[in-house]
Structure 1
Amino acid sequence: MLRKTPTGTWLPAWVPESTFTLSFLLIICSAVQSCTAGYDGSMLNGLNILPSYTDYFHLTPATTGLNTASVFIGGFLGPLFSGVMTDRLGRRPAILWGSLITLVGVILQTAAQDVAMFVVARIVLGFGTAVSGIAGGVYLSETFSSQYRAWGVGLLNDFYYVGALFAAGITLGTGQWESTWAWRAPSLFQGIFSVLCIIVLPFIPESPRWLVHHGHHETARLVVAQTNANGDQYNPVVVAIYKEIVDTLKWEKEEGRSMTPMQVIKNPTARKRLLIGMSPGPFSCIAGNIIASYYLGAELDTAGITNSNQQLKANVVLNVWCLFCCLGGTHLVAKWGRKSTAILTECLLVICLFIIGGLSKLYADNPDGASSSIVYGDVAVMFLFQGFYSIAWTPLLYLYPPEVMNYSIRANGLAFSQFMLNALALVFVFIMPIGLANIGWKMYMVNASWDIVIVVTIAVYWVETKGKTLEEIDALFEGEKHSSVPDVELVRTGQEKLDLGVVEHQLETEIITTKVE
């Protein structure tokens, strides 16, 4: 059964009464947004291998980098607006507008007649994807129950590889066509995921944190009940979560924690939360996966595999492997923790990059006489590298930032993380084909050195957030919890009991006080 639920915005919602059904719809919302970005990376991988694409645009190394990297110009610009849009319009409307802009970019890209039109289309596409992705990350982190948040938000990026797999399969199929539709068809199919996202939006509620912040307390409590207890607003877990949200947002308002960017920089705690929270964006970009994500063909060339059909097949296999690894990584993140999983991944990446660099050097020194073991060993380690990257960075990219940042800086903080990711990606995606062409295997050695610095930084500065609600994470940074109720997991497991009468009275008093203010 569907229940018409107020949203505090112009975008209506008819929400399932079953928490299980609603969680499934939230996961679909998460997955389809993720698929768009994954599809794009894998599609460009395939297109850069197709003669019908490279010949149509008369590509050089520079224009190849421009065509590919231009999506990050939009991804660079999108975060400048997405945080404000997400806070002012609501989480769901921001997702909707981002999806619509993405569809416009897809149509322009499919119809591109020259490099300029293709680049403009990809800027629009990147802008829309950034807006919907940031709004989606904030929305899902604020809406999912804490016990499912790692999976629910982790899948926002895990399904990157489902989209990538679709793109790899489609470009493999259309790659034999002798017309421009060999690359136009894959471009057109990219819009499917945005359409699916738009279809799901009317059946999921607005973020309860956003609703409380904007004074829609009754609706917020209903949403907490829908996402945790099949709509039972008097369930102890629901009451505990709702009380935490009301208390914490009231504290933020009273303490003036709705900070301008300059105030965030000046406040030591806010600055720490922002820097730690935004770090997954640039760290994941610097890690080294950009080479295989957008230039697999060039990477395989350095290993001696130059046949375009073999490269397209390798693209399909790579995405299947990465999908399994990121799902396993999401399990580790949920059970083992965010910080430990990130350190494990980075150490494995350093080892792989040094091995890839060494094997690529052996092949480059004697390409004609290189043994097959060097070639296949190099390819095997490349595949291991992408899998190891997927274990931590794929789920953590959208999961960790909104967990670390409090409500007042969450949307803009995640936007800043994505801004830095896209700024670095814009540079790296453009220079990678030039770097591989000029210094070859040495690029891997440089990348490995960066990753050693990242390992040390995570070990020293990151904070573990596993098993806590967003409000309980505040205590790790502020030194105290801003709500009088016990931790939600203790209530959920029966280790702590709530006096519902007392808590209800406190809530009534606080809400009346907030409305008067």
Structure 2
Amino acid sequence: MGGYDGSILNGLNILPIYNDYFNLNAPTRGLNTASVFIGGFFGPLVSGPICDRLGRRPAIFWGGAFTIVGIVLQTAAQNIPMFVIARIVLGFGSILSGIASGVYLSETFAGRWRAWGVVGLLNDFYYVGALIAAGITLGTGQWHSTWAWRCPSLIQAIFSLLCILILPFIPESPYWLVAEGHLEAARIAIAQTNSNGEVTDPVTSTVYKESLDALSFQKSEHGKTMTLLQIARDKTARKRLLIGMSVGPFGCIAGNIIAAYYLGAELDTAGVTDRNDKLKANVVLNVWCLFCALAGTHVAAKWGRKSMAILSEILLVICLFIIGGLSKVYADNPNGASKSVVYGDVAAMFLFQGFYSMAWTPLMYLYPPEVMNYAVGANGLVFSQLVLHCFAVAFVFVMPIALENIGWKMYMINGSWDIVIVVLIAICWVETKGKTVEEIDARLKGKKHRSDEDSCQGLEEEEPDRYGRDVEEKTG
């Protein structure tokens, strides 16, 4: 859903008929595009209570319903205010269903599939939706009516509609059922998702027991979540929050927003001005990014999160400076620039997106829950989403204005920001690859503490919805 929405705006921003209909300039183009993140800012504020009180499936349902309302309004938009309001409603529904879906997947996927299910299906498949949207806008881009942009907008509702129709046929999260006291329903749900419906299967029994243990831990003194005020007063908790929430802003600042939402303007700086060429590049770019994201998820466990982030940022810095340099060459002599300059610039853009997708696409979902323990995680992840959407609103709005006014210099500025990010990651981040909760604590506190707290945190490590331990190892 998010991938489709991002790519559709990328395609629409390329279409003259969309820009002409709303009489867009750089600021209004940025407003139309960034407004979805305004709605996304409010989603995390209510997603937690809705998920906990109503259940994961109802939260997904209401998120999908809000999204469909936003899509209908966007399709029927007659002016910029109507379009912006539609995008805000769409953004709210999208983030509500997105958070609920992430929680649902993490709580229902069998342990051996959880990493691919949560990180792979939920985040890497951003580019599947993006590819579909890019293909649709490539086709409708040839139309000479407003349906060139209204049709791709309307098609977006299919995904939310399918999701709503499928919901009655899938089980509720077993973890939520246990928390609400529906123990027999939870056992049946666990059997459906772990052992082909066999309630007496050893795997079902083990996962069921782990769910009970995790709930018992959360109700204990050590399982209580910390408020944001408590987090702010505790040095280690504060460090966990700052490191975990840095992933979102770092991902925004890295430079991906340019190609994700304003590929047409970026290609203009490289000398690619034909509308069809831009739409085709959007399709190819999403195929390339999907491949890189899936590859990155596969190797994330081998390389380590911190090492992966540092290597990616260094490569992004190099690509941005190359893009900026070649774009300057073209800007200085647009009529006399050789084809090699244009091809080199486009190639560097593709490499940039590939390096970004390989590291930051999986890290966005993978790293924050690993560095935030249970006590910090609930409020910490919500606060991280709020910060992420604040940065997204600012950068998505400003980027077309910057590209129009300073052109190639924007790449140099962005590359300089990424150098700062490399330093911050190297100094502040902790490596979580292969680390236990105790070992991560040791890095954050400067010493190991083998108190009763750690013995309770051992239960946390077994918690099915957060750490994905493969129970088949225990059942033989």
Give the TM-score band, short-chain normalised.
Answer: 0.7 to 0.9
Residue 407 of structure 1: CA displacement?
Answer: 5.0
Match of 2:216 among 245, 250, 260: 250
Task: Provide the secondary structure at the position in 2 that maps to 1:215.
Answer: coil
Counterpart of 1:341?
Answer: 308
Counterpart of 1:515?
Answer: none
Amino acid aligned to 1:492: E
Structure-2 change in CA distance of 1:272 and 1:163 (3 Å): same
Counterpart of 1:229?
Answer: 195
Match of 1:173 among 136, 139, 159: 139
Give the Cα–Cα distance (whole angstroms) in 1 for the partners of residues 60 and 383 of structure 2.
17
Residue 99 of structure 1: CA displacement?
Answer: 0.8
Structure-2 change in CA distance of 1:451 and 1:263 (3 Å): same
Give the Cα–Cα distance (whole angstroms) in 2 for the partners of residues 115 and 238 of structure 1.
53
Give the Cα–Cα distance (whole angstroms) in 2 for the partners of residues 203 and 466 of structure 1.
36
Residue 334 of structure 1: CA displacement?
Answer: 4.5
Residue 445 of structure 1: CA displacement?
Answer: 1.8
Which shows bigger deviation, 244-253 or 67-76?
244-253
Residue 229 of structure 1: CA displacement?
Answer: 2.9
**Contact 1:247–1:482 under 8 Å retained in 2:** no
Residue 139 of structure 1: CA displacement?
Answer: 2.1
Counterpart of 1:16?
Answer: none
Counterpart of 1:418?
Answer: 385
Structure 1 residue ranges without an equivalent (≥5): 1-35, 498-517
Compare the two structures and name the one with the higher helix fraction: 2
Residues 5-64 of structure 1, C-alpha deviations (whole Å, 9 max, x = no match): xxxxxxxxxxxxxxxxxxxxxxxxxxxxxxx11111111111111111111111111111
**Contact 1:146–1:467 under 8 Å retained in 2:** no
Match of 1:136 among 84, 101, 108: 101
Task: Provide the secondary structure at the position in 1 that maps to 2:111.
Answer: coil
Residue 288 of structure 1: CA displacement?
Answer: 0.7
Structure 2 residue ranges without an equivalent (≥5): 442-452, 463-467
Match of 1:70 among 20, 35, 60: 35
Residue 412 of structure 1: CA displacement?
Answer: 4.0
Residues 341-382 of structure 1, C-alpha deviations (whole Å, 9 max, x = no match): 333322221221121112112222222222211111010010
**Contact 2:111–2:471 under 8 Å retained in 1:** no
Residue 121 of structure 1: CA displacement?
Answer: 0.4
Residues 474-516 of structure 1, C-alpha deviations (whole Å, 9 max, x = no match): 874464454579968586346x98xxxxxxxxxxxxxxxxxxx
Q: TM-score, normalised by structure 2?
A: 0.88
Residue 255 of structure 1: CA displacement?
Answer: 1.2
Residue 301 of structure 1: CA displacement?
Answer: 0.5
In the TM superposition, 1:47-446 aligns within 5 A as: 47-154=12-119, 155-233=121-199, 235-255=201-221, 257-407=224-374, 410-446=377-413
Counterpart of 2:445?
Answer: none
Structure-2 change in CA distance of 1:49 and 1:129 (3 Å): same
Residue 124 of structure 1: CA displacement?
Answer: 0.5
Structure-2 change in CA distance of 1:82 and 1:396 (3 Å): same
Structure-2 change in CA distance of 1:198 and 1:402 (3 Å): farther
Task: Provide the secondary structure at the position in 2 that maps to 1:148.
Answer: helix
Give the Cα–Cα distance (whole angstroms) in 2 for the partners of residues 343 and 249 of structure 1.
37
**Contact 2:42–2:92 under 8 Å retained in 1:** yes
**Contact 2:112–2:470 under 8 Å retained in 1:** no
Output the aligned Cα RMSD.
2.7
Which shows bigger deviation, 202-211 or 171-180?
202-211
Residue 238 of structure 1: CA displacement?
Answer: 4.4
Give the Cα–Cα distance (whole angstroms) in 2 for the partners of residues 456 and 84 of structure 1.
37
Counterpart of 1:8?
Answer: none
1:41 aligns with 2:6: yes
Q: TM-score, normalised by structure 1?
A: 0.81
Give the Cα–Cα distance (whole angstroms) in 2 for the partners of residues 254 and 432 of structure 1.
48
Amino acid aligned to 2:50: M
Residue 466 of structure 1: CA displacement?
Answer: 5.5
**Contact 2:191–2:198 under 8 Å retained in 1:** yes
* Identity, % of aligned positions: 69
Structure-2 change in CA distance of 1:485 and 1:240 (3 Å): farther
